[in-house]
Amino acid sequence: MQPLFNHYFEPLAAVGAGPDGRNCLAYTAEEDLAHERFCAQLRALGVVPQQDAWGNSYGTWVGTGDEGCGPLIAIGSHLDGVPNGGRYDGVLGVAAALVVLHRLQQQGWPGRLRVIAWRGEESARFRSSCLGSKGASGLLTEPMAAQRLDAQGVSLRQAVQGCRGQAPSPVAAGMALLELHIEQGPLLARLGRQQQRPVVGVVSAIAGSRRQRWQLPNIGVARLAALLLAVHERVATLDSPEQPLRVTFTPVQGAPNVGRDHTLLRCRDPQQAALLAAVGSGTVCGPNVRFQGPHTFHSGGQPMNQREGVDQIIVAARAVVASSLNEGLQWPDFQVQAGFHLQLDLRAGDAARMTEALAQMLPLVQGVGGQVVELGETPADALSSSWAMQMQEVAQRLGIAVLPMVSGAGHDVQVPPLSHKGLLFIASQAQGVSHHHSEAVQMDEVVAGLRLLEAVVVAHAAQGGA
Ligand SMILES: [Zn+2]
């Protein structure tokens, strides 16, 4: 299955690829090229490619049965990415759909399969995500697209003109929709290493989010680190592998040099939390190690995007934190810049735990004289739980290990208003980093995901789409 996967994956992943990652932003010439290649791949499979009014590309194959006999099943993902992004985010899912189509054709499968490449899933250009799937689902309208501008002042409506097609939306009533995606966290890779076999994620819900700005007074590094460690301790009691609670902090003011690499800023690990305090302050001296904060991972005013540099910072920070904690040493009380603001992004699969976590954090912020400003919320979105259960049964029959999961990030599959929506995750071998060119996969894990995806399609059709 690996050569077949590479056959479909490599030409799509190569679009926009460079030494610092893949650059294929929403509604650009690169994304157009990726869609052209996808359409050529469909044609080679004997399927006529179509474009809808939002530039989404798709093709529908009808097997040897009569049209209308089997349920319509679609598999889709996206071909765009973030600046200097990874090769697998989105592209993996589109290539997987083509592999499944290819194999089912060879097997003479009698069902109906639609393969979709969505446009503009990432919010990097228009600061709004899942543009193609929202447009195809009627959740994004022409007037809304006219008002949404990129950094150059180009409207989404203008950007769509170049790739607009005449075909109807790929979202059809009663259609089942599947997506295979790389995990944007570390769980599957960790479990796979422990069990020494591939583990595929079966996602039952997509986490909702709450965003807050914490406006902190001029507290020292040590107090900021203590605050974030206390946050970590309280949140950790609400977190579990099955029901992850994801906390991300981004310095939004008062630490202008801090890179945009979220690896550094995640608060799941107390050492990283302390690291956040460190990078927010500039220079931190520990008893054994001295390192520069922002400057080490910044060069030429560009956010540092080199994995090697990030690793160095983490190693250095761990040494500082570990030695100062073990030896009971005080950190030099460097001052955090006045008016230091942190943006909190909290994600969980259910509202109750999110509310509980925020209730636990609030007194900590208030305790250092800080203020919390609410920035907005996105409700959690359930996928089809009964289908997720069936997928686990299919996996069991195939002998594929699965982990039931909640996704911290949004995906195209959640957008269309359909009753059968399913999402599978493949492990990412990048220590939980997402949207980064260090993204990597192991081929046995990809193959496990492809086998499960194909079997889920066949099982769903065999049950008449129930
Ligand atoms: Zn994606």
Ligand 1 centroid distance, CA of 70 (Å): 29
Q: How far away, in angstroms, is 205 Cα from ligand 1 center?
A: 16
Compute the average pLDDT of residues 102-123. Answer: 95
Express each pLDDT in 260-297 by its tens digit.
Answer: 332 333 333 444 445 554 444 332 222 222 223 332 22
CA of residue 129 to ligand 1 center, whole Å = 10
Sign of CA dihedral 18, 21, 22, 23: negative
Provide the b/e sequence for 139-163 (b: ≥16 CB within 10 Å): ebeeeebeebbbeeeeebbebbeeb
For CA atoms 16, 21, 26, 28, the dihedral sign is negative
Instruction: State the distance from the centre of ligand 1 to the C-alpha of 181, rounded, in angstroms.
Output: 7
264 CB contacts (<8 Å, ≥6 apart)? 258, 272, 275, 276, 279, 297, 310, 313, 314
Question: CA-CA distance, 78 to 94, in Å (whole number)?
Answer: 7
CA of 337 to the centre of ligand 1 (A): 35
Distance CA 100, CA 5 (A): 9
Domain final residue pick, 351, 378, 405: 378
Q: Say how many Å lie between the CA of residue 251 and the centre of ligand 1.
A: 24
| Beta strand 72-78 pairing with 176-182 | parallel
Q: Are residues 7 and 104 in the same domain?
A: yes
Distance 66 CA to ligand 1 centre (A): 34
Question: What distance in angstroms lies between residue 223's CA and the mean position of ligand 1's atoms?
Answer: 37
**How far apart are the CA of 17 and the centre of ligand 1, in A?**
16
Ligand 1 centroid – CA 424 distance (Å): 12
Same domain, 234 and 280: yes
29-44 helix and 2-13 helix, angle to the nearest 10 degrees: 150
User: Does 133 share its domain with 224?
Assistant: no
Q: Give me the domain span that covers residue 69.
A: 2-205+381-462
338 and 248, same structural domain?
A: yes
393 CA distance to ligand 1 centroid (A)? 26
Cα(67) to ligand 1 centroid in Å equals: 32
183 Cα: distance to centroid of ligand 1 (angstroms): 9
Judgement on whether residues 198 and 271 belong to the same structural domain of the protein: no
Contact 287, 322 (CB under 8 A): no
Q: Average pLDDT, stretch 49-77?
A: 89
The Å distance, Cα 10 to ligand 1 centre, comes to: 17
CA distance 227 to 369: 11
Q: Are strands 17-18 and 72-78 parallel, antiparallel or unpaired?
A: unpaired
**Secondary structure class of 76 (helix, strand, coil):** strand
- Is the pLDDT assigned to residue 446 strictly greater than 80? yes
- CA–centroid distance, 144 to ligand 1, in Å, is 23
| Same-domain status, 190 and 292 | no
Can you read off the two tokens belonging to residue 418?
């359909």
Verify that 180 and 143 share a domain, yes or no.
yes
Q: How far is CA 236 from the centre of its chain?
A: 22
Mean pLDDT of 235-241: 72
Query: 441 C-alpha to center of ligand 1: Å?
Result: 14
pLDDT in tens, 345-400: 788 877 888 889 899 999 999 998 999 999 888 878 778 888 999 999 999 999 99
Task: Provide CB contacts within 8 A for 311, sequence distance 6+.
Answer: none
- DSSP 8-state code for residue 118: E
Rounded to whole angstroms, the Cα distance separating 269 from 413 reads 30
Domain count, the chain: 2
Q: How much is the average pLDDT of 120-128? A: 90
pLDDT at 327 over 60: no
294, 402: one domain: no
Residues 239 and 187 in one domain: no
Among 332, 348, 378, the domain boundary falls at 378
Predicted confidence at residue 265, as pLDDT, reads 33
Ligand 1 centre to CA of 190 (Å) is 20
Tokens coding 68: 């209308």
pLDDT band at 128; cut points 50, 70, 90? confident
Q: Above 90 in pLDDT, residue 410?
A: no
Tell how strand 302-303 and strand 72-78 pair up: unpaired
- Taking the CA atoms of residue 275, residue 277, residue 278 and residue 280 in that order, the dihedral angle to the nearest 10 degrees is 120
* Residue in 110, 120, 188 with CA at minimum distance from that of residue 423: 188
pLDDT of residue 266: 33
Q: How far apart are CA 26 and CA 19, in angstroms?
A: 20
Distance of CA 416 to the CA centre of its chain: 18
Residues 38, 66, single domain; the answer is yes
Cα(340) to centroid(ligand 1), Å? 31
How is the beta sheet containing 340-348 ordered, strand by strand? 246-253, 340-348, 208-216, 371-378
> What letter does residue 295 receive in the DSSP assignment?
G
Examine the domain organization and report whether 374 and 388 are in the same domain.
no
Residue 376, by phi and psi: left (phi above 0), alpha (psi -120 to 50) or beta? left
Q: What is the CATH number of the domain that holds 450?
A: 3.40.630.10
Q: Which of 336, 363, 378 is the last residue of a domain?
A: 378
Quickly count helices (H) and strands (E) in the chain: 13, 19
Query: Which amino acid is residue 120, in one-letter code?
Result: G
Q: Phi/psi of residue 443, each to 5°?
A: -65, -30
First-to-last alpha carbon distance for the chain, in angstroms, is: 29
Q: Would the pLDDT of 20 be above 90?
A: no
Q: How far is the CA of 178 from the centre of ligand 1 (A)?
A: 13
Both 159 and 15 in a single domain?
yes
Q: What percent of the chain clears pLDDT 70, i.e. is strictly above it?
A: 74
Q: Which are the contacts of 428, defined by CB distance < 8 A and separation ≥ 6?
A: 88, 182, 183, 184, 185, 186, 188, 189, 434, 439, 440, 441
Confidence of residue 257 (pLDDT cuts 50, 70, 90): very low
